[in-house]
Amino acid sequence: MTDERPATASRGWRRYLAPYRGLSFRVWLLAAVVLVNRAGTMVVPFLVLYLTEQRGYSPAEAGQVLAVYGVGAIPGNLLGGAVLRRFSAVRVQVASLAASALLLGLLVSVSSTPALLAVLGLLSFATEVFRPANAAALAAWTEPAMRRRAFALNRTAVNLGMSIGPALGGALAGVDFRLLFLIDGVTCLLAAGLLAALAGRDPVAAAPPGGATVRAAPWHRHARFTAFLLVSSVVMMIFFQVNAAYLLFLKGGLGLDTRSVGLLLSLNALVCVVAEMWVVHATERFDARRVLAAGALLVSLGFGLSPWSDGLWSAAALVLVWTLGEMLVLPTGAAAATAFAPADDPGRYMGAYFAASSAAFILAPLAGTSLYERAPALPFHVALALGPALAAGFLAFGPPKDRPVPE
């Protein structure tokens, strides 16, 4: 009897890879650059532990310092979107990565709190210039119906890199926290070098994404888009507790060591790597507003139930819940921002979207760590209560209806 298992496995593998087809070489190259960079991303996920364990800050003080990263990120996002009218999206990304490498080297060498705050703010500014330029290039080089997949591929690259970074970072932190800064800086330079090669072949700025036929209002005068940004930022405030109250809960509430915390963060990244493109492909036939609403509920539920976990395995189960929510919200949300954007000015809309994310990064540690000091379960109870309202917000203020997805 013929063994049909290899043929069955081959068909299954082809079905799994089907969502990746149809994306351009440039989109894959941008994903490769992000992969190289994020494989060395170790500083931000462990910054709150570096500040509390190595620098002697209290949890609230560490949250305030971490919020400075978001303060610098907001103008970085807005500038990164605005300069795309004059500079190539690729060249903007190269400059961002090179500056980030330099500032990571400075960050580990400063000793005073004012110097730490100044360098951290500059680092966030330089780092966040990258994001709207990267997103605008993805949108420009992808058909509108394929943009959720393009952003999902980019996030797959992010998470593949992040599956390496936190796990390795957790081990290195036990040896010397300074190694995190060194490796992060080196990978920034490697990613900049790869992008510089692309810039040499494609020096012109990316063309604006298609799909808009009339000039839309500036983003700050677009009421529906502004409401969409507000809802998105609150969801991201819950998600960003992974770098603040959630991290403190894993160590203080559950008593996990640094290596176990790193493994939980890597679990999140690995699940996204394996499943996110498939999840996006499976849900892209549905209206983006419904997908975003479901994702908001899962993010709220996954983080909100954390106080009821009693160890590593139950924490891992909840990681899977909020990870599914993340896979629904983040690529769909980024693609939704391009649906709002006018053809003649996509960069500013993408800059505004990522500025909202940065605002959430500012508020998340401030709110989360302050609530945590009052009662360790309080930030998670708040997250749980917000879920239904956020889902309703996405349904009410979500993006225009998507175009049909080609078969």
- Reported as a single tens digit per residue, the pLDDT across 239-260 is 999 878 888 888 887 888 878 8
Q: Phi first, then psi: give them for residue 285, nearest 5 degrees.
A: -75, -15
Which residues have C-beta within 8 Å of that of residue 85, sequence separation ≥ 6? Answer: 205, 345, 347
Closest alpha carbon to 164 in 35, 281, 60: 35
Half-sphere exposure of 188 (CA within 13 A, CB side): 27
Highest mean pLDDT among 15-19, 45-49, 171-175, 291-295: 291-295
Query: Which structure tokens are listed for 223?
Result: 């009421």
pLDDT at 388 over 90: yes
Q: How far, in Å, CA of 24 to CA of 177, rounded? A: 39
Q: Please state the pTM of the whole predicted model.
A: 0.75
**Contact predicate 97/205, CB 8 Å:** no
Query: Which structure tokens are listed for 293?
Result: 């609403």
Q: How far, in Å, CA of 325 to CA of 223, rounded? A: 26
Which pLDDT value is given to residue 235?
95
Q: How far is CA 252 from CA 203, 241, 256, 315, 372, in A?
A: 50, 15, 8, 13, 11
| Average pLDDT rounded to a whole number, residues 14-35 | 80
Could you tell me what percent of the chain has a pLDDT over 70?
84
Query: Which structure tokens are listed for 287?
Result: 């209206």
Query: Which structure tokens are listed for 346?
Result: 């996509």
Of 113-122, 228-237, 289-298, 378-387, which gets the smallest average pLDDT? 113-122
| Average pLDDT rounded to a whole number, residues 146-175 | 77
Other residues' Cβ atoms within 10 Å of the Cβ of residue 311: 11
Q: How far is CA 247 from CA 46, 243, 336, in A?
A: 9, 6, 30
